[in-house]
Chains A and B, each alone.
Chain A
């Protein structure tokens, strides 16, 4: 059948007639998240790889222009759906910067705690997916068990397992339920026990090392040039971490290290994530110890919804509620860029406000999108099987990459 794809016509014909074109994705077991990898194979070696993303494009940034600042929060959940809270907090901080609001100390520490908690869940998911694709099913299931415990625990707090929408501009939707912190410590201990098993199963496993060492190698220069951030950049040995370099929330008061790799290969990316989880655990414990008492939301009727008991009894509160819901928060005109260290790297929100209830323009600097830009360089010259391992260790999240 004669059919030429208008999109990838230059890859319809291979450079060498003996090579084979293989199309991995967008619906393929390995491309979790939706992405297409067109690979030109010479036997088992990848000669040329072409990454097509955009299959999960939802027009989030354009959509945001027609929503009030509060109504955008559920959309931010869907960016990196493995760590929704990090997206929530990064977005809220951008808006709060524009509003000039200082959040309460308890809110600050809670957001830090939950950021780290969700980071653990995200790293666990990434490592689980990577090792599952290499066939280590039991390690995958151990990690998924941890993730499930964390999700159930967050469900108790936020009411949802994956898309939390827990943040509010100027605070949080609710305070911790009773007994939440005790259960948190139990889960952390459970996590430590299971992560030790993963170390035992994989760290010195010859097959695992062979599959990951010296595969998908990148130099520090390469990583910087392609705009890589997060664990992928740190795996090359560059200790850039926004939590240290441009501290936000309660990070300046926490004691933690930035783990780095030595080579920037798949093994380093795996190990940096494992070490980051250890650091996150220690940070969560510090947060629990230092968690101050007090309200979780600021007292500011321009921003925070009035209490329901007041809404039902007082006229002013009803009007306040109505104006905040219908018109939205009136954010002063101006623009802001605020970035958080999300599990995948630098997650930045660029907001332009014209003083109305919804943003004039919004842009998300999503780490996965930047990572996909240089992905093909990590695949070419390696084997077909390495596509899967490298792609897994890059932790592409469709929702975040395609927005």
Chain B
């Protein structure tokens, strides 16, 4: 029992560290990547001076994330007079907490047998093995969808309780947008469920560890390319980023639903946006890009299609899988940032038309075709 506790505490620590760490990293990546895209230098003003010397550690502006956090924490927490006190204070947490929980069902590595990692650990752990996932629930995808549904509440409450017309318009937009896009997102996911035959994310990843046509990894992006695009689009819309950032679009609604927020409450909204990038990337990677699978890597080492093999110790395999997942998440996040910095934003009616008249029928069609193919092949 105590062994399980140790392992799962370690998992939880890793999951929270992973998300907050990568989200902070993404604030920097967003700055730097957009700078590279626009031929600028980007964030480079923040530094840490090594004590008693004049050496300034700029580190490509990496410390901007820390400076941001410190700024948010130290600013005055200004609140307007006419607001719904309870909802106003609740909203940021309601927006930020559910996105943190989504990660609990995402597998970030294969099977871990702690006893095989190091000889010293064998006495303590024995031959127990654990899937690298905080909570291996059978209803994985449902948990993802329901938690992202709670996130809408935070946005709506924030807009309604601020007693500001811009906030209210932003909240109305956010609510209708997120609910609309959840439909196509759900449909895209159902076609995945039909393909994989499971709701459990870990089983999905294991399904993707096989090979298609002998050489191609059996990733979701190859078996369900349309669902990939649909899910990516709907997920960016859920995350409220350009080109779907109408709820907070700076030019018309000032800052949308969090106009009246300041200091760390506003920081929570911003942070939740970046955590959501991580979560969306993690979901994309898990469901479409093979999760922690590196092509041809199995639990015992590499097995190449030509027949060559390369055996690896368990520790190396675990590290490779965890590292693969990490790199894939970062790359998927960078791709989202690439989209965000290339496109102008939609208008509200166009967004709704796009969601209901284009994405939804396409997702439904994809589901029907998938179901037919599945029925044919069974």
Task: Kindly state the separation between the CA atoms of A30 and B344 in the bound complex, as whole angstroms.
Answer: 15
The segment from B2-10, B63-71, B250-258, B326-334 that touches chain A is: B250-258
Q: Does B212 contact A (CB under 8 A)?
A: no
Which of A20, A139, A385 lies in contact with B252, CB distance below 8 A? A385
Q: Are B169 and A385 in contact (CB under 8 A)?
A: no
Q: Are A134 and B344 in contact (CB under 8 A)?
A: yes
- Given the complex, which residues of B lie within 8 Å of A81, measured CB to CB? none
Which of A22, A201, A388 lies in contact with B166, CB distance below 8 A? A22
- Which of A21, A133, A135, A386 has the largest number of chain B CB atoms within 10 A? A135
Q: Are B39 and A134 in contact (CB under 8 A)?
A: no
Q: Are B169 and A22 in contact (CB under 8 A)?
A: yes
Give the nearest-CB partner of B39 in chain A.
A145
Nearest Cβ on chain B to A7's Cβ, whole angstroms: 19
- Given the complex, which residues of B lie within 8 Å of A384, measured CB to CB? 169, 252, 348
The interface bits of chain B over 346-378 (1 if a CB of A lies within 8 angstroms of the residue's CB, else 0) are: 111110000000000000000000000000000
Q: Does B182 contact A (CB under 8 A)?
A: no
The interface bits of chain A over 94-131 (1 if a CB of B lies within 8 angstroms of the residue's CB, else 0) are: 00000000000000000000000000000000000001
Given A20-B165, A30-B251, A132-B251, A207–B343 Cβ distance below 8 Å?
A: yes
Task: Kindly state the separation between the CA atoms of A388 and B249 in the bound complex, as whole angstroms.
Answer: 11
The interface bits of chain B over 232-269 (1 if a CB of A lies within 8 angstroms of the residue's CB, else 0) are: 00000000001101100111101000000000000000
Q: Are B348 and A44 in contact (CB under 8 A)?
A: yes
Task: Kindly state the separation between the CA atoms of A395 and B243 in the bound complex, as whole angstroms.
Answer: 24
Task: Kindly state the separation between the CA atoms of A126 and B315 in the bound complex, as whole angstroms.
Answer: 58
Task: Kindly state the separation between the CA atoms of A131 and B344 in the bound complex, as whole angstroms.
Answer: 7
The interface bits of chain A over 309-329 (1 if a CB of B lies within 8 angstroms of the residue's CB, else 0) are: 000000000000000000000
Task: Kindly state the separation between the CA atoms of A307 and B90 in the bound complex, as whole angstroms.
Answer: 72
Nearest Cβ on chain A to B25's Cβ, whole angstroms: 20
Task: Kindly state the separation between the CA atoms of A44 and B34 in the bound complex, as whole angstroms.
Answer: 31
Task: Kindly state the separation between the CA atoms of A21 and B166 in the bound complex, as whole angstroms.
Answer: 11
Give the nearest-CB partner of A382 in chain B.
B347
- Given the complex, which residues of B lie within 8 Å of A136, measured CB to CB? 342-344
Given A44-B349, A135-B245, A205-B343, A388–B37 Cβ distance below 8 Å?
A: no
Give the nearest-CB partner of A202 in chain B.
B344
Which of B27-65 touch A at CB < 8 Å? 34, 37-40
Q: Are B342 and A138 in contact (CB under 8 A)?
A: yes
Q: Does A210 contact B (CB under 8 A)?
A: yes
Task: Kindly state the separation between the CA atoms of A2 and B329 in the bound complex, as whole angstroms.
Answer: 54
Task: Kindly state the separation between the CA atoms of A192 and B166 in the bound complex, as whole angstroms.
Answer: 39
- Given the complex, which residues of B lie within 8 Å of A132, measured CB to CB? 251
- Given the complex, which residues of B lie within 8 Å of A29, measured CB to CB? 250-251, 254
Task: Kindly state the separation between the CA atoms of A385 and B246 in the bound complex, as whole angstroms.
Answer: 9
Q: Does A28 contact B (CB under 8 A)?
A: yes
Q: Does B341 contact A (CB under 8 A)?
A: yes
Q: Are A135 and B254 in contact (CB under 8 A)?
A: no
Q: Are A30 and B252 in contact (CB under 8 A)?
A: yes
Which of A203-236 touch B at CB < 8 Å? 205, 207-208, 210-211
Task: Kindly state the separation between the CA atoms of A237 and B359 in the bound complex, as whole angstroms.
Answer: 37
Q: Main SS of chain B's interface residues?
A: loop
- Given the complex, which residues of A lie within 8 Å of B350, measured CB to CB? 207, 210-211
Nearest Cβ on chain B to A106's Cβ, whole angstroms: 36
Give the nearest-CB partner of A32 in chain B.
B251
Q: Are B34 and A137 in contact (CB under 8 A)?
A: yes
Which of A21, A30, A207, A386 lies in contact with B243, CB distance below 8 A? A207
Task: Kindly state the separation between the CA atoms of A210 and B254 in the bound complex, as whole angstroms.
Answer: 22
Q: Are B249 and A135 in contact (CB under 8 A)?
A: yes
- Given the complex, which residues of A lie within 8 Å of B39, measured CB to CB? 141-142, 145
Give the nearest-CB partner of A135 in chain B.
B345
Nearest Cβ on chain B to A389's Cβ, whole angstroms: 8
Q: Are B251 and A137 in contact (CB under 8 A)?
A: no
Given A22-B165, A132-B251, A135-B243, A385–B347 Cβ distance below 8 Å?
A: yes
Give the nearest-CB partner of B249 in chain A.
A135
Task: Kindly state the separation between the CA atoms of A20 and B169 in the bound complex, as whole angstroms.
Answer: 10
Nearest Cβ on chain B to A143's Cβ, whole angstroms: 10
Q: Are B38 and A385 in contact (CB under 8 A)?
A: no
Q: Are B349 and A138 in contact (CB under 8 A)?
A: no
Which of A171-206 touch B at CB < 8 Å? 201-202, 205
Nearest Cβ on chain B to A133's Cβ, whole angstroms: 4
- Given the complex, which residues of B lie within 8 Å of A205, measured CB to CB? 343-344
Task: Kindly state the separation between the CA atoms of A30 and B34 in the bound complex, as whole angstroms.
Answer: 22
Given A141-B40, A384-B252, A210–B346 Cβ distance below 8 Å?
A: yes
Q: Are B252 and A24 in contact (CB under 8 A)?
A: yes
Task: Kindly state the separation between the CA atoms of A30 and B166 in the bound complex, as whole angstroms.
Answer: 13
Q: Are B349 and A383 in contact (CB under 8 A)?
A: yes
Task: Kindly state the separation between the CA atoms of A207 and B341 in the bound complex, as whole angstroms.
Answer: 14
Task: Kindly state the separation between the CA atoms of A210 and B348 in the bound complex, as whole angstroms.
Answer: 12
- Given the complex, which residues of A lie within 8 Å of B250, measured CB to CB? 29
Q: Are A28 and B254 in contact (CB under 8 A)?
A: yes
- Given the complex, which residues of A lie within 8 Å of B243, measured CB to CB? 135, 207
Q: Are B254 and A207 in contact (CB under 8 A)?
A: no
Task: Kindly state the separation between the CA atoms of A145 and B35 in the bound complex, as whole angstroms.
Answer: 12
Q: Are B344 and A142 in contact (CB under 8 A)?
A: no
Which of B38, B165, B343 lies in contact with A135, CB distance below 8 A? B343
- Given the complex, which residues of A lie within 8 Å of B348, measured CB to CB? 44, 383-385
A-B contact pairs, 18 of them (CB 8 A): A20-B165, A22-B169, A30-B252, A134-B345, A135-B242, A135-B251, A135-B343, A135-B345, A137-B341, A138-B38, A142-B38, A142-B39, A207-B344, A210-B346, A211-B344, A384-B348, A387-B252, A388-B252
Q: A137-B242, A205-B343, A210-B347 given. 14 additional CB < 8 A pairs?
A: A28-B254, A132-B251, A133-B252, A135-B343, A135-B344, A136-B342, A136-B344, A137-B341, A141-B34, A207-B345, A211-B350, A383-B349, A384-B169, A388-B251
Q: Which residues of A contact B (CB under 8 A)?
A: 20-22, 24, 28-30, 44, 131-139, 141-142, 145, 201-202, 205, 207-208, 210-211, 383-388
* Ranked 4 nearest A-B pairs via Cβ: A135-B345, A141-B38, A133-B251, A134-B344
